[in-house]
Structure 1
C-alpha cells in the first residue's frame, strides 16, 4: 500500500499519468476515467510538496462481500503544500479500497467507498469533483469549471485586488495568499450550499484547512489556513469587497477558533468596507448613523455565537459597529493582539471577559454600553 501511495504522489510531481494509473483496476472504466481526471486536475495546482499517508484500516463486511476476501479499505491522508498558497504543509482525507490481483499485486478498486465515514469539511477538495481550470495571479489561485475561462479571469482580478486590500489594512500587514473555489457543485470542502440557510443569501465562505486532521491530535483538528468557496448560485454578486471579507478570515484563521462571532465577522466586515483599489468608497458615516438608529437602539447586547446567523441582518451591522469602534479607539495593533488572544483562548464567556478586561479594561457587556453611549442612547 505504501509503495502504491508513494508512486501516486511521485507520478503527480513528475507528470507521469501512466504511473498514477498503474495500480487502478483496469476493468473499472468509471474509476479509471475518474482517476485520469483527478490526475489532470492535480497537475494544475503546482504542489511544492505532495504525499499520501496510510492511516487506519476500515473493515466493512459489505466491501469484503463485494470485492473478495483480500479487500483492504483504508483511510488516507493527503499531505500537500500548494506553491505560493499554503504557508505550511496541510492535510486532507480520502478513502481507498484495494484488492489483491491473481498475480499477487494490489489494485485500487474504489475511491468512494469510505466517503461517508470521512470527517466533514476535511475532504472533497476542488480537484475531486469534476474537470477544473486553475488560474493564478499574484498571491492568488482560482479554481473554476474547465470551460469557465472568463469567470476565472474575472475572479483572479477581483481576488488580487482583495488580497492587496487585506494586506494593506490588517494590522501588521498580511503576506498570505487567497485560494478561491468557484465550482458548480454545491458541496465543496466545508461549504454546503445545498442547505437552505446558505443556498439563497450566502455569497462565499472561508473553509478551514488542516495542519492535522480532526481526530489526529485533537477532535477539531489543528487549523492552518482557509480556502474560500463561492456559492454557485451567487457567483455574479461576488466582488472584490466580498473576497476581502473572506480573505480577512483567511488572514486570521491561524489565530485559532475561539474568537466570538461578532469579532470574527465584525473584523472581516471592517476590512471589507475600507477604501479599496478598484472599488467605490462607501459612505461609512451615513452607514454608522443607520446602524445606530436601526439596530443598536433595539439591541440588548452584542450578537451571540448561538444566534448570530439567525439574525444576520442585524448581527453583521452591529458587529461592524463594534469593531469599527475598537479600531478607532484603541488602534489596530491592540485590536489585532486582542483578536489573537481571543481566538486562541476565548473558549468560554469567562475567558473572553478576562481577555477583554486585560486588554481594554471592559468586558463584552461594557463594550456594548460604550457603543450605546457613543451613539447618545
Structure 2
C-alpha cells in the first residue's frame, strides 16, 4: 500500500517542503567534502631520502644515517601497532617522552580509544620527512618531523584496509634509540578529511551492533544505545532498498567536537542546518597516488548542535552515500543527493510512513514548475530548498521508469566516468536514452500529464 493510501494528511512535518527549509533540505551537505590540496608543501609519497638512505637532511638537522634512523623509527611504529592489537599499553607508551606529561596522557587516551574499535589490521608507515626550524629549535638537532600513514581495517566494518594521516616528531635520546616527543606538530599541514579521526578527539565510547559502529563521548551510554538502534534500522533499509543490495557497514560518529574527519561544523553554512555528513575514507590518501585519493568507504559524522534531530531516516540518507562512495566522485549532485533522499523516504521499519504522492505533487507545483533545469553541481547547496526536492523527483522518476538495476548501473558509471558534461550525457543516453536536459523535460511532461 502506498503512503498516500495510508493517510489523507500531508507528509509529517519533518519531511514537508516547508519544514525542510529549516531542518533537512538546507545543507545536509553529505559528501560535500572535497579533498583539498595538500597544505604546507607536505608531500605524502614515501621519501626518496628514506628509500636511498643517503640524501642530505634539512639545514637544521646534523648529518645522520638516514637508513638507520628509518629502521629504528619503523621498529617504534611496528611496536606501537602490535601493542594496540595485543592490548599492551606499556609497550604502546614505551617510546613516548616520559617527561611530557600531556603527551603521555594523550597517548594513553589514544590507546584506550583504539582498543575499543576492534582492528583486524593496524600498521603505521613513515612517509616524507618535513622541516620546520621552530620545531627543530624546540626539540634539538636530531629532530625528525615525519608524516605517518596509519593503515587499518576495523573488524566487521571496513571491507578493505584504509588509510589515515598523522604527524609525529621524534628525537634521538640515545644512539639508535628514537623517542616520540610530539603528536601535533603536523596537524595544520595534513590534508583535510584524512586525519582528525574519532579516536584522536579525547575519551570516547564505542558501541557495536552487526554492521554498525557508533562513537560517542565517554559516558554517553544512552546516546550510544539510541544511535545504534537507529543505525541498525538504517543499515537494514539501505541493504533492502539499494539496487543489488549493500553489504557494507554504517559508522556513526556523534562527538562534541565540531571538527572530526572531513566534517567541519565550525563553518557557518554547516553549523546551523547540517545534520550529518558522510565523510570519505581512503584506500590511498589524497596526494599519495592521486590528487584526490582513492575512496574506499565513508563514515558518518553528526553535527553536535543538531544531534537530537537525527533519526533513522537521516542515517539511511547518509548510509546511501556510504553505499555509493566506492563508485567514484563524478556523479552529478542531483543524482547523489536524489538517490540518498529517495532511499530515506521509502517505507522503513519503525518509522512513520510518508505521504509521498502528495509530496510529489507539492514538488512539481512549487519547484519543478519554476525550474529551468535539473539542479547544477556548483549551485546545489546554495539553492538547497529546491535542489533536494527536485533531485528526489528526478531519481523517483528513474526508479519507476527504468527500475532499480538500471539506476544502480547508471549511478556507478556516472560516478566513475562522468567528469564532464559530455561524458555525463553520453552515459545517460547509453543507459536511458536521455541527456540530463532530456530527463528534466521528461519530468516536466510527466507533471503535465
Task: Give the aligned partner of residue 105 of structure 1.
Answer: 177
- Note the residue ranges of structure 2 that are not aligned, 5 or more in a row: 1-72
- Note the residue ranges of structure 1 that are not aligned, 5 or more in a row: none
Is 1:274–2:343 an aligned residue pair?
no
Q: Distance in 1 between matches of 2:378 and 2:394?
A: 18
- Which stretch has the larger CA shift, 260-269 or 103-112? 103-112
Q: Distance in 2 between matches of 1:218 and 1:257?
A: 13
Is 1:25–2:97 an aligned residue pair?
yes
Correspondence 1:162-241 to 2 at 5 A: 162-241=234-313
Task: Give the aligned partner of residue 375 of structure 1.
Answer: 447
Which of 276, 279, 285 lines up with 2:357 in the alignment? 285
> How far 1:332 sits from its partner (Å)?
0.3
Correspondence 1:1-377 to 2 at 5 A: 1-102=73-174, 104-376=176-448
- The list of structure 1 runs, each at least 4 consecutive aligned residues, that deviate by more than 4 angstroms after superposition, is none
User: Number of residues paired by the alignment?
Assistant: 377
> How far 1:61 sits from its partner (Å)?
1.2
Counterpart secondary structure, 2:245: coil
> How far 1:104 sits from its partner (Å)?
4.8
CA deviations on 1:134-186 (whole Å, 9 max, x unpaired) are 00011100000001100000000000000000000001111111000000000
**Alignment RMSD, CA only?**
0.7
Counterpart secondary structure, 1:375: helix
Counterpart secondary structure, 2:114: helix
Q: Distance in 2 between matches of 1:102 and 1:211?
A: 36
Counterpart secondary structure, 1:98: strand
> How far 1:62 sits from its partner (Å)?
1.2
Q: Distance in 1 between matches of 2:387 and 2:260?
A: 26
TM-score, normalization by structure 1: 0.99
Task: Give the aligned partner of residue 39 of structure 2.
Answer: none
CA deviations on 1:59-81 (whole Å, 9 max, x unpaired) are 11111111100000000000000
Q: Distance in 2 between matches of 1:84 and 1:236?
A: 27
Counterpart secondary structure, 1:130: coil
Q: Distance in 1 between matches of 2:205 and 2:83?
A: 20
Larger Rg: 2
> How far 1:216 sits from its partner (Å)?
1.0
Q: Distance in 2 between matches of 1:154 and 1:368?
A: 40
Counterpart secondary structure, 1:351: helix
Q: Distance in 2 between matches of 1:259 and 1:105?
A: 50
Counterpart secondary structure, 2:279: strand
> How far 1:336 sits from its partner (Å)?
0.3
> How far 1:213 sits from its partner (Å)?
0.3
> How far 1:270 sits from its partner (Å)?
0.2
